């Protein structure tokens, strides 16, 4: 009880305090401290759920089960490490004159608000509040994407706002349809009809025709936020033009939470429909994202855009795996969400400092990182190898599981997946290799870069690739059972 | 055939008015008039909510009628008018599709929307189920407006009109969403408009215009 109150209360209080505090010299430290406290609350909550089982609180508006508690822990962890990374990163941006102290105040306050929306979206039991939280997540980050006020960042912010706004409006319509179907089954008082736990209990009685329509709208709506092709066009721009810590949390957290929303909806619709329609739609969108993004990777010259397209690819893989369903594929998809989130944010941390050193995000201007600062160079190289799915990292384990399951259940998809993975490998590796090695002309940074978050994330990903602790495996299995369905 | 009660007739007229207003917005190029049309749409929506609240005796509908009145009839139009004066954007340029083309596509959209609403209408037990098709039409027409307009301000008005349509849809299919969700949605809309206000000033500062053709360089091409 108290853990959950802290989990949601801390970012809210932190955001207000950071907004009220103004352009204080110690604001980055306060931001990190609030994130640390939130992370500790998430840990306490996790321990409690492992010991005592599911929680249902605040008039059933909030609930915790194995599926969302693992995402809560992951979200709080990435929130903490990104806050640690943003401390020196934003100081360097300030010293380079790209942001003013006043804008940093907005940045810190909105960072905590974004964390609040992510955690609320994960812990709420109400499908309507889930929608509200995801819309609020867009609103809290749109001014961060435009933080540099360059023409390109304004364009990216506008695109982000309009596309996600329209997308999420579709999801609201889907939610209305869901409520409509639920009200017929759960009774007219309507108070419980949007609560996921109640919906889950009666899902087989919900009207299939309405739920099928609702799922189309929900998938298109939340899928826009996941970055599923062809609805992904906001994603590379928002990632490339915003500050790097924001790219890291967009890729590492927002996409995951939006996918979480899609999966929650899929469980309900699958239970009502008894047809493969939702599964096929997820697989179709997933494969299309994988194929399209791997082709787009070839044309990229901006390093952050490159890795943004790689995020589209990996979310596509996870969506495909959730579409296949079944305990193994769902287990693999959850693992993939975890390792992608950790690896991709680690890469963005390294890329952020690399771009600061080179004074440009264009890959042809970033050269020879390894000679000037071996840690950034090796961090980027290791992260890239990890995200490309090389053993012994965790991404290899999850992709291997997904591919072997697909071979048994959906063999037709294997050529597409393998070809896309190979194309993506070549496209990314040929770009990153000269950035890390080769001649250099980089400058020194006015503050020491934050490297601990990079290697902490990569270490976890490495461990997950070699050995998944039994407690964690049980937890994944429980979550996979919950969403795996028949 | 029994005569239709007066309040139901009024509700149906409200629904028809909403659709008419959507078409009016589609054809209007003066931004000040667009905002006024949006305010009228909000007022019709509030009136429909009030009628429905009175008819069904559901207390929370009175609250959402008051919320609609405060937010969509008073506050948002006031804010938008203020923005228009400060930014001096009075006219939208020629839309991407000319007015008659847009109107024709609008008619096709309405036919499509009623087709889409068919299965829901058959299942609904509310007194306003025939209005679900209109709600979907309003949403899709607003979407069409967002696609065809070039000025940022008209796109935002389209966005708000889309939200009106969704609200009306929720009302006619299920007598509104639970209160906590409705409050959350209202909060989001409010924050969205405030954020956009800030955003417009940033665009304006950077490009000296609110025309969106400035915002077309990001195509993944080298800068």
Q: Answer for the pair A166, B145: CB distance below 8 angstroms, yes or no.
A: no
Contacts of A151 in chain B (CB under 8 A): 206-207, 214-215, 217
Task: Tell the residue number behind the tokens 């990996």, with chain if given.
Answer: A314
Residue A151 contacts B where some CB pair is shorter than 8 Å = yes
| C-alpha–C-alpha distance, residues A50 and A43, integer Å | 11
What span, in angstroms and rounded, lies between the C-alpha atoms of A388 and B133? 48
Decide if A157 touches B, using CB distance below 8 A.
Answer: yes
Closest CA of chain B from A84, distance in Å? 27
Can you tell me the distance from the alpha carbon of B132 to that of B115, in angstroms, rounded to the nearest whole number? 11
Residue B220 has pLDDT above 50, yes or no: no
Is pLDDT above 70 for A486? Answer: no
pLDDT at residue A249 is higher than 50:
yes
| Torsion region of B43: left, alpha or beta (phi above 0 gives left; psi -120 to 50 gives alpha) | alpha
Cβ contacts below 8 Å, chain A against chain B, sum to 140
The secondary structure element, H or E, covering residue A55 is strand A55-57
DSSP string, B127-182: TTGGGHHHHHHHHHHHHHHHHH--BHHHHHHHHHHHHHHHHHHHHHHHSS--HHHH
Helix (H) or strand (E) holding A423: helix A414-436
* A166 in reach of chain B (CB within 8 A): yes
Burial (CB count within 10 angstroms: exposed 0-12, middle 13-18, buried 19+), residue A434: middle
Residue B211 reports pLDDT greater than 60: yes
Among residues B24, B54, B65, the alpha carbon closest in space to that of B167 is found at B65
Q: Strand runs (DSSP E) across chain B, as ranges?
A: none
Nearest CA among A381, A387, A355 for reference residue A437: A381
Q: What is the pLDDT of residues A419-445, one digit of tens each?
A: 999 999 999 988 888 888 877 666 677
Those residues whose C-beta lies under 8 Å from the C-beta of residue A45, and which sit 6 or more positions away, are A3, A4, A7, A64, A69, A72, A73
Interfacial A residues in 273-302 facing B (CB < 8 Å): 296, 299-301
Residues A117, A139: Cα–Cα separation, whole Å: 10
Q: What is the pLDDT of residues A218-237, one digit of tens each?
A: 999 999 999 888 888 889 98
Given a cut of 80, whether residue B12 has pLDDT beyond it is yes
Distance linking the first and last C-alpha atoms of chain B: 69
The pLDDT tens digits for A325-339 are 888 888 899 999 999
3 state SS for A182-194: HHHHHCCCCCCCC
Within 118-157 of B, beta carbons closer than 8 Å to A belong to 119-120, 123-125, 139, 143, 146, 152, 155
Structural contact between residues A56 and A197, judged by C-beta atoms closer than 8 angstroms: yes
The predicted-structure confidence for B89-146, as pLDDT tens digits, reads as follows 777 666 667 778 888 888 999 999 888 888 777 777 666 667 888 888 998 898 888 8
Report the alpha-carbon distance of residue B165 to residue B45 in Å, rounded.
Answer: 9
Note whether B222 contacts A: Cβ–Cβ < 8 A: yes
Query: What's residue A339's pLDDT?
Result: 92
Is the CB of residue B220 less than 8 Å away from at least one CB of chain A?
A: yes
This complex has an ipTM of 0.84
Q: Which residue has the tokens 């934003």?
A: A90
Tell whether A169 is within 8 A of chain B (Cβ).
yes
Using a CB-CB cut-off of 8 Å, the residues of chain B touching A195 are: none
What is the rounded distance in angstroms from the CA atom of residue A120 to the CA atom of residue A226?
17
pLDDT in tens, B15-66: 889 999 999 988 888 888 889 999 999 999 999 888 888 887 777 888 888 8
Q: What's the rounded mean pLDDT across residues A152-175?
A: 87
The larger pLDDT score, comparing residue A81 to residue B128, is at A81
């Amino acid at each position: 009880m108290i853990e959950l109150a802290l989990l949601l209360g801390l970012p809210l209080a932190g955001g207000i305090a950071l907004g009220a505090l103004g352009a204080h010299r110690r604001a980055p430290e306060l931001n990190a401290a609030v994130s640390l406290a939130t992370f500790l609350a998430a840990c306490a909550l996790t321990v409690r759920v492992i010991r005592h089982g599911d929680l249902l609180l605040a008039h059933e508006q909030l609930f915790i089960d194995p599926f969302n508690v693992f995402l809560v822990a992951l979200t709080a962890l990435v929130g903490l490490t990104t806050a640690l990374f943003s401390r020196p990163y934003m100081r360097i941006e300030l010293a380079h004159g790209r942001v003013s102290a006043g804008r940093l105040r907005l940045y810190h306050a909105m960072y905590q608000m974004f964390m609040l929306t992510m955690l609320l979206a994960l812990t709420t039991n109400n499908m309507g509040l889930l929608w509200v939280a995801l819309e609020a997540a867009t609103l809290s980050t749109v001014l961060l994407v435009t933080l540099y006020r360059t023409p390109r960042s304004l364009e990216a912010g506008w695109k982000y706002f309009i596309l996600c706004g329209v997308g999420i409006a579709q999801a609201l319509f889907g939610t209305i349809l869901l409520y409509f179907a639920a009200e017929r089954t759960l009774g007219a008082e309507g108070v419980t009809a949007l609560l996921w736990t109640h919906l889950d209990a009666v899902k087989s009685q919900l009207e299939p025709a309405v739920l099928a329509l609702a799922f189309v709208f929900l998938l298109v709506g939340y899928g826009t936020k996941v970055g599923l092709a062809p609805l992904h066009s906001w994603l590379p721009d928002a990632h490339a033009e915003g500050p790097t810590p924001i790219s890291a949390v967009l890729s590492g957290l927002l996409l995951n939470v939006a996918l979480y929303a899609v999966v929650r909806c899929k469980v309900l619709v699958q239970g009502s429909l008894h047809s493969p329609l939702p599964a096929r739609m997820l697989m179709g969108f997933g494969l299309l994202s994988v194929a399209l993004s791997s082709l787009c990777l070839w044309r990229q010259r901006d390093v952050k855009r490159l890795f943004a397209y790689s995020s589209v690819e990996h979310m596509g893989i996870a969506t495909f795996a959730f579409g296949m369903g079944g305990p193994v594929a769902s287990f693999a998809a959850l693992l993939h969400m975890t390792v992608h989130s950790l690896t991709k944010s680690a890469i963005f941390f390294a890329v952020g400092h690399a771009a600061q050193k080179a004074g440009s995000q264009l890959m042809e201007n970033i050269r020879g990182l390894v000679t000037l600062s071996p840690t950034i160079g090796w961090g980027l190289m290791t992260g890239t190898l990890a995200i490309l799915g090389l053993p012994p990292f965790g991404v290899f384990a999850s992709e291997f599981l997904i591919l072997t399951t697909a071979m048994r259940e959906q063999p037709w998809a294997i050529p597409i997946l393998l070809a896309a993975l190979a194309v993506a490998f070549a496209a990314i590796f040929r770009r990153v290799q000269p950035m890390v090695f080769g001649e250099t002309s980089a400058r020194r940074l006015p503050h020491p870069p934050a490297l601990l978050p990079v290697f902490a994330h990569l270490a976890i990903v490495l461990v997950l690739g070699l050995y998944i602790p039994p407690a964690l495996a049980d937890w994944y299995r429980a979550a996979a059972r919950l969403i795996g369905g028949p | 055939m029994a005569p239709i009660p007066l309040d139901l007739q009024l509700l149906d007229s409200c629904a028809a008015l909403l659709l008419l207003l959507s078409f009016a917005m589609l054809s209007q190029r003066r931004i000040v008039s667009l905002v006024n049309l949006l305010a009228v749409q909000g007022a019709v929506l509030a009136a429909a909510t009030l009628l429905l609240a009175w008819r069904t005796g559901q207390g929370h509908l009175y609250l959402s009628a008051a919320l609609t009145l405060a937010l969509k009839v008073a506050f948002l139009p006031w804010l938008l008018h203020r923005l228009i004066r400060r930014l001096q954007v009075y006219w939208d340029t020629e839309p991407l599709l000319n007015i008659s083309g847009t109107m024709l596509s609008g008619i096709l959209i309405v036919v499509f929307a009623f087709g889409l609403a068919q299965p829901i209408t058959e299942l609904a037990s509310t007194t306003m189920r025939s209005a679900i098709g209109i709600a979907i039409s309003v949403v899709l027409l607003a979407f069409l407006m967002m696609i065809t307009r070039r000025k940022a301000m008209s796109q935002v008005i389209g966005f708000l009109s889309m939200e009106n349509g969704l609200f009306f849809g929720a009302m006619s299919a299920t007598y509104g969403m639970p209160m906590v969700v409705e409050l959350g949605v209202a909060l989001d809309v409010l924050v969205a408009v405030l954020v956009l206000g800030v955003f417009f000033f940033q665009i304006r500062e950077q490009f000296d215009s609110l025309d969106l053709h400035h915002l077309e360089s990001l195509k993944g091409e080298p800068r």
